[in-house]
Amino acid sequence: MLATSGVDKVSRAEVYLWRVVLLGAFLILWEAATRRGWVDPFFVSQPTVLAMQIADWIRTGKVVMVVSLVFFVVFFSTYTGIREVDRDLVYNARILGASPRHMIRHVLLPSALTWIFASLRTSVGFALIGAVVGEYLGSHEGMGYVISYAESMFNATGVLAGLLVLMAAVIAIDIGLQRLDARFSYWKPVPK
């Protein structure tokens, strides 16, 4: 029999609670330090200013365009993936007494992960196209603007460099999604 160290096991909820408390304390300390002049906000900004900036970004025509392009692809692929779950697996889980929450976490989501990651990989292209087109048409910053400006100056090097950067970003995101898919789908048999 293994000897215990006298330390009680901490529940998962308590760990998450402490993480939230520590994060909140850090943000409050950061905000106070910048407001009182202990830290120069020029270099590290303030949490409230960062939150307002992110909110402004979320409200732009580009983010809305990207979300509208991606949402439906991912939603319907996820829906199809959940509908395609092996019925025998669902029945067996129900017979074993799985609650609806356990059914979603341990049966439906893992089975639909292939569909979800496939739609995410497809959506990366749509998202980048939507963002770049949004920047291209009506922005004064971002890669779409850089490409548009280079095009208006007849700078072929700038246009091609922007396209290469976008291509590299898509490849990096795609590889990341492939690795994430492999990590979460380790339990599936590998086709021969």
Same domain membership, residue 86 and residue 28: no
Tens-digit pLDDT profile for residues 99-127: 999 999 888 988 888 888 888 888 888 88
Which of 22-25's residues contact partners 24+ apart within 8 Å by CB, and which partners?
A: none
Same domain membership, residue 104 and residue 55: no
Q: Is residue 83 part of a domain?
A: yes
- Exposed (0-12), middle (13-18) or buried (19+): which is 25, by Cβ within 10 Å? exposed
Same domain membership, residue 144 and residue 85: yes
Tens-digit pLDDT profile for residues 127-153: 888 778 777 777 777 888 888 888 889
Same domain membership, residue 90 and residue 18: no
Same domain membership, residue 138 and residue 51: no
Q: Where are the beta strands (DSSP E) in 70-188?
A: none
Report mean pLDDT in 10-residue bins for the chain, 192 residues. 52 89 95 91 88 80 77 88 89 91 89 87 82 77 84 89 88 89 76 69
Q: What domain count does the chain have?
A: 2
Q: Provide the domain limits for residue 117.
A: 61-184
| Distance, CA of 6 to CA of 69 (rounded, Å) | 54
Q: Structure pTM?
A: 0.57
Same domain membership, residue 112 and residue 19: no
Same domain membership, residue 127 and residue 78: yes
Amino acid at 174: D
Same domain membership, residue 51 and residue 90: no
DSSP code string of 125-159: HHHHHHHHHHHHHH-SSSHHHHHHHHHHTT-HHHH
Residue 29: per-residue pLDDT: 95
Residue 1: per-residue pLDDT: 44
Q: Is residue 6 part of a domain?
A: no
